[in-house]
Amino acid sequence: MSKLAITGIENYGKVHRYIIKKEKNMHTILCNLLSKLGLSKNSILKVDTDFDHLYDDYIYVGGKNHEVHFFVTQKYVNLVIKTSWTQKRLNEFLKEFFNFSK
């Protein structure tokens, strides 16, 4: 599975923001991420869309342990995750789906 590029990270306590460069078919990777986080199939279907055609859009999916927000701009997706996980634990989990810039 290919990985998406994270170009920026911010952390505000339990709220973690990742800036991701938009790529073709990125929804497949994002759907896999949500599935691995344990979100419901209905939640995952909200993200199963072509992000190339989204601009100034917002998608929210929530589960028992995680709230996930997608703020979509012309070139980037701001992925915001509210969770009890630490930044370190979340970053380790996300390495399966993302390349972190140095």
Cα-to-chain-centroid distance, residue 20: 8
State which amino acid sits at residue 75: K
Give pLDDT, residue 38: 92
Task: Please tell me the distance from the alpha carbon of residue 35 to that of residue 31, in angstroms, as a whole number.
Answer: 6
**By the 8 A CB rule, do 69 and 60 touch?**
yes
Backbone Cα Rg of the chain: 12
Q: How confident is the model at residue 63 (pLDDT cuts 50, 70, 90)?
A: confident
Q: What digits encode the pLDDT tens for the residues 66-77?
A: 999 999 999 999
Task: Please tell me the distance from the alpha carbon of residue 67 to that of residue 35, in angstroms, as a whole number.
Answer: 13
Domain ranges, ordered by start, for the chain: 4-100
Total-model pTM:
0.91
Q: What digits encode the pLDDT tens for the residues 3-50?
A: 999 999 999 999 999 999 999 889 999 999 999 999 999 989 999 988
Give pLDDT, residue 53: 85
